[in-house]
Amino acid sequence: MKAHAKLAVILAGLLVTGASMMLACDDSSNAVKERVIPKDSGVNSGNDSGGLPTDGGTLPDGAPSDCFMNPRTHFEIINACTDAVRIAKSPTLPLLSPDGGLPPLP
């Protein structure tokens, strides 16, 4: 009789655990959800020039811009305008030879 009682307790515990996990993993939370953006197939749909642009457009004073204000394609997104601070990096690479090459492997 004890074996049946242990089995009943284990099954009841699994049932409670499973039910609580189902409730905890419910999709009705108030979490912010990002909208799904379909991947670019690479096919020119007529919405863009099809090729890589030479610059990101022009500034109000007519000077060329190096970023895109309203990015739509992958190339434009990775070159979108931001308000990030540019950090100039000039690393010291001690293994480079004067001609820019690497030393031979040991």
Coil, strand, or helix at residue 63? coil
Torsion of CA 39, 43, 49, 55, to 10 degrees: 50
49 touches 62 (CB < 8 A) = no
Per-residue pLDDT tens for 8-19? 889 888 888 887
The 10s digit of each residue's pLDDT in 71-95 is 899 988 988 888 888 888 888 888 8
CA 68 to chain centre: 18
- Give, in order, the Cα–Cα distances in Å from 81 to each of 17, 44, 56, 103: 49, 23, 9, 39
pLDDT tens digits along 42-72: 554 444 444 444 445 555 666 566 788 888 9
- For tokens 């492997």, the residue is 105
Tell me if the pTM is above 0.75.
Answer: no
